[in-house]
Structure formats: structure tokens, C-alpha cells
Structure 1
């Protein structure tokens, strides 16, 4: 099994070192070497990439922002000279976080983690849940995890993602009935919120990770506490 690998680093010396490490490993197939996130974004649209070995500080946008911008990112190993980025990076679930200067044995450990991830049998993997909305003559597929929240309007529903909004003619109650699982929470008569998008919860409102503030309806507060907070609250003994 060859693992298609893309290297992204704007430092010429480290780009050469990482490229050499990749070429030394018989498991890896080097499909590109990029100096910026924009260059990498274009490359990802052209070739199939299994793992992205990516610096964090890049000239146009950060490596972290690059991963956030991808609807279906490949596995990623972050490399950086700065330890303080570690917590920020783990919100996008990287395979590993490597500090420069890189050591070959530590790099090989990361590649083994990638190999183990890719060895998961296809039949045991699941397709991320999604739904369709109709726009003109097209059916637009929207992954549950791409949705931040949904808001009831006069005679339609506004479905908000980081990239754009969709406006199907549908009631929020009907949408709630059709959604599978417990990914979304009704927090107000006019709002459904993706649980993974919540950053903080106050008495009368909650804040999403993008800064959007959503009201909490009185009749939904107990449900929000029961389903989303209870059992997950860390407190002192």
C-alpha cells in the first residue's frame, strides 16, 4: 500500500528535509511539494492525497486554516517550530503534531499512525450523515457536520454553513423530524443548532465557535441541559 503524501512548508531547508524523509520511506508516495496553503489547496483538487505533512505558519493562510477550509481533508501531520500551536491544532484531529527540528524516528512513528488509520477496513467505516436540499433543478448534498445552525424564517428554513446559506421551503419542525441521530439540538422555537458547533452556553443564549449568538428558549433550556451538559460537566470533588 502506497500512501500518497503532500508536503507543505515555506521554509526551503525544512521542505528539503521533510521531502527527504518522505522519499526514504517505502510506504510513502510523494505527490507534491508546496510552499503555501493556496498552492496546496490547488494541488489537493488535482491529485488524491492520503496524508498532508503541513507547516502551520505559511505566508498566505495558516496550515490550520487550510485544513478547516477543506470539506473532506486528508489525514494531516502538523509540523512547526512553535509548541503553543498544539492545542489549536487538535480541534481538527490531526494524526500527529511534530516539533522542529524533526527527528527521523519520531517522523516514522507518525507515519505508522497514518498507516494504522488507513488500514481500517472499508466495510467498517461509515459514511458521514448528510441530507439534500433542492435549488432550482439541482439537489445539493449537505453534510451534517458542515451545518452550524438552522433558523426558521417566514415560510422557509435557513440552513447556515461556514461557506454559505441554503433556503429550502420547509418548516423547522419538519426538518427536526427528518434529521437522524442527536447531532442537532432544538434550543429555541426558531433554531436548531449543531452540537459540535457550540462554544459556550449561557443562561439565555449560547455562542457558536464562529461567534454567532443563538437565543435559548425557556421551554428548551431543560432539554439543552439534559442532553448536552449533564454527564459531561467537569467539577471539583
Structure 2
């Protein structure tokens, strides 16, 4: 098995470094090196590319914009010197993020993730929705289904899951904008809850499956009724 790999980076030095890493890996077949998103787009149109190893911040069009523009994107490993891109990029479901300078062990871990995509997963397997948060120097992947609720705390966002809590530097508004689908519900200016974790909706608060009580903000009451209750109410006590 050879994985056809295309490198996209506008920095010549990094082109050489990443190319060497790819060429040393027996699983990868280097099919091209591009210094812009538009040049890479032409390669993607004309060739069979399995994997993009792609810088994010580039002139004219970013690596993220390129991947978003593709109707059927190959697997993607984002390579960047900027730590704050993870939340913006999770929506295109990259295989991994690598921070420059690239650590060889982390590069091999990323390629192993790519290999598993090819050998262990059927083509029609649906990936559980997830997002990344930055924890120290690492990007932590959190599944939507594991989140119970999120709470704004000044410049931080407390993310409470079934196993542990996280506290990234992030606004609740930014998180709400990035969440896909309708799995989460804003119920208060300081709280977002996972709809599947809701047990009871009271007059002034929501009881979650773990026993946590979440306040309901007056301005969000109509939204809760419209999005979560109406259409699902099968009986009423009078």
C-alpha cells in the first residue's frame, strides 16, 4: 500500500523538511510539492491524491480555505506554526495537527492514523462528530457525545465531559458558532448544554443526566421550547 501524498507549504525550507519526512516513510508516495493553495488545487483536480500535508497560513488562500472548497477532500494533516487554529479547522475533520518544528515521533503518529483510516475502517463509516481544544502544548479531541455542558468563565470556557473537564481560553460565543448540527443548545448567556444530556426542563432550570442543574436564561426560554420541546411533546399533565 502506498499513500499518494501532496505537500502544500509556501516556505521552501519547510517544503524540503516535510518532503524528506515523507520520502523516508515507506507508506507514503510523494506525488508533488506546492507553494500555494491554487497550485495544489490544480494537482488535486488532475491527480489521485490520498493525503494532503498542508500548511494553514499561506498567501491568497489558506490551507483551511482550500480544504473547505473541495467537494471530496482527501485525508488532511495540517502543519502550522500557529497554535490557535485547531478550533477553526476541526470542522473539516483533519486526521491530525502538527506544530512546527515537527517532531519525528509525532509525524509517525500522524501517519499511523492515516494508515488506520485505510486498513481498519470501511469506506462508509461515519465519524463521530468532534472538536479540538488546546491543552498545554497538545490538541485534545473531544467527541460531541461525551460533552455534558459548557460554561463561560471570563476568558475561559469550562467544558464538562463524562470523564473529565477542560478549560481552554475560548469564548462561549466562538464555541457556539463553531459547533455543527443541532446536538447542542444555548440555554443561558453562560451555558451551552448537550441536548442528549437533558433529563428534566423546569421553570427556571434544566436538570442534566449527571444531576447537574443548569439555569435557564429568560431570553433563551423561547428557543428551548421551539428547538427542544415543541414537536416532541407526546403528553401533557393538566
TM-score range for the pair, normalised by the shorter chain length: 0.5 to 0.7
- 2:228 is matched with 225
- Give, in whole Å, the separation in 1 of the partners of 2:29 and 2:16: 15
Following TM superposition, by how much is the alpha carbon of 1:25 offset from its aligned partner in structure 2, in angstroms?
A: 0.4
How is 1:98-137 mapped onto 2 (pairs within 5 angstroms)?
A: 98-122=98-122, 125=124
- Give, in whole Å, the separation in 2 of the partners of 1:3 and 1:23: 11
Following TM superposition, by how much is the alpha carbon of 1:125 offset from its aligned partner in structure 2, in angstroms?
A: 2.0
Deviation per CA, 1:150-172, whole angstroms, max 9, x where unpaired? Answer: xxxxxxxxxxxxxxxxxxxxxxx
Following TM superposition, by how much is the alpha carbon of 1:75 offset from its aligned partner in structure 2, in angstroms?
A: 0.6
Following TM superposition, by how much is the alpha carbon of 1:224 offset from its aligned partner in structure 2, in angstroms?
A: 2.5
- Give, in whole Å, the separation in 2 of the partners of 1:72 and 1:52: 12
- 2:46 is matched with 46
Query: Judging changes above 3 Å, is the alpha-carbon distance between structure 1 residues 49 and 222 closer, same or farther for their aligned structure 2 residues?
Result: same
> Does the 8 Å contact 2:55/2:63 carry over to 1?
yes
- Give, in whole Å, the separation in 2 of the partners of 1:8 and 1:16: 11
- Give, in whole Å, the separation in 2 of the partners of 1:201 and 1:121: 31
> Does the 8 Å contact 2:8/2:37 carry over to 1?
yes
- Give, in whole Å, the separation in 2 of the partners of 1:58 and 1:98: 16
> Does the 8 Å contact 2:9/2:15 carry over to 1?
yes
Deviation per CA, 1:78-114, whole angstroms, max 9, x where unpaired? Answer: 0011101121111211100000001111101100000
- Give, in whole Å, the separation in 2 of the partners of 1:116 and 1:60: 33
RMSD: 3.1
- Give, in whole Å, the separation in 1 of the partners of 2:230 and 2:25: 47
How is 1:161-200 mapped onto 2 (pairs within 5 angstroms)?
A: 196=180
Following TM superposition, by how much is the alpha carbon of 1:43 offset from its aligned partner in structure 2, in angstroms?
A: 0.4
Query: Judging changes above 3 Å, is the alpha-carbon distance between structure 1 residues 199 and 11 closer, same or farther for their aligned structure 2 residues?
Result: farther
- 1:74 is matched with 74
Deviation per CA, 1:111-155, whole angstroms, max 9, x where unpaired? Answer: 000000111354x6259xxxxxxxxxxxxxxxxxxxxxxxxxxxx
- 1:34 is matched with 34
- 1:151 is matched with none
Query: Judging changes above 3 Å, is the alpha-carbon distance between structure 1 residues 226 and 34 closer, same or farther for their aligned structure 2 residues?
Result: farther
**Count of aligned pairs between the two proteins:** 146
Deviation per CA, 1:1-44, whole angstroms, max 9, x where unpaired? Answer: 10110000000000100000000000001111100000111100
- 1:137 is matched with none
Q: TM-score, normalised by structure 1?
A: 0.55
- Give, in whole Å, the separation in 2 of the partners of 1:115 and 1:30: 15
- 2:206 is matched with none
Q: Say whether 1:63 aligns with 2:63.
A: yes
